Structure 1
Amino acid sequence: MLDQSFSAHNFDMIYGIESRKGNIDIHSMPTKYLDIVKKTKDIKSIIKELKNKEDDKSIEDLHHNKELLLELQENKKQALYEHLEEISDIVNSSSFRFELKKLKIKGKEAFSIDTTKHTQYLQPIITQYFIDNKSEIWLLFLIAHSKR
């Protein structure tokens, strides 16, 4: 459960959940993160090739590439967290706003929020807040994101 704050930690939890569901557009991530993802894929393919070889040089290269893969995975986590900290700083600033739009769909009222890169992280926290506080307005956010 989220603690209802717009922290990088909560955004990281949301990123993990949404990423496993396939809801994160990887191309919207920072270049630093994308570069690490590409390098990771390259190293994984090298490791796959080296696993089939049994000579001493290949075994040494395999161990080296496995260590490099672990380092890249840590760098990827760090790059993601830095990105989420930037988003947290933006949404926690006093000047941050997002627009709530009232729509008519098939004659019924519905609501939608803007689709900036930040709303994919904000919506679960906001929804949890309204559910936990037994507010009727949480339905508004569920309706706004029911198109998923």
Structure 2
Amino acid sequence: DVYGPGSRAWLIEPLRMAKAGQLILPDNGKAVFTPVFIEDLLDGIMLAAGLQEGAGQVFILWGGEAVSCNEFFSHHWRWAGRAGSPRSLPLTAALALTKGVWKLNQLLKRHDEVTPDTMLMFSRKGGFSIEKAKRLLGYCPKTRLAEGMRESEAWLKASGELD
């Protein structure tokens, strides 16, 4: 769930959907979202590539600060000038809706991020452990969500995505 300046998947697309009033989260956005700020991910990759302890290993790299989907995407909702939180549907309804949208987009040969898989991702119940990366690489994410979102908002304004 890599976000930060330039992120199409976790900044630009959700903002576009929020502006259109189409950002929907399953089950009130209670599921777990595991964001990692781009610079923290790059730090982890450089550690894994540059240290002998990283050779032949697989690491999970994320920010270590699990948040709800609602908490993460409420930033986009607010940036879009909307009050409250993103809209929500029960998971079964969100899956049915996105399946219909996905099939329509296939027929029209349009690429869109709206898929049932997205709704399933937005319904995760748990996070992941970064302990192996901490222990073997000394990986330590530095960017807290609040700071990362401030930097992301500044980038969105500078790039013309936000007024």
TM-score normalised over the length of structure 1: 0.28
TM-score normalised over the length of structure 2: 0.26
> Which of the pair has the greater relative contact order for Cα pairs under 8 Å at 6+ separation?
2
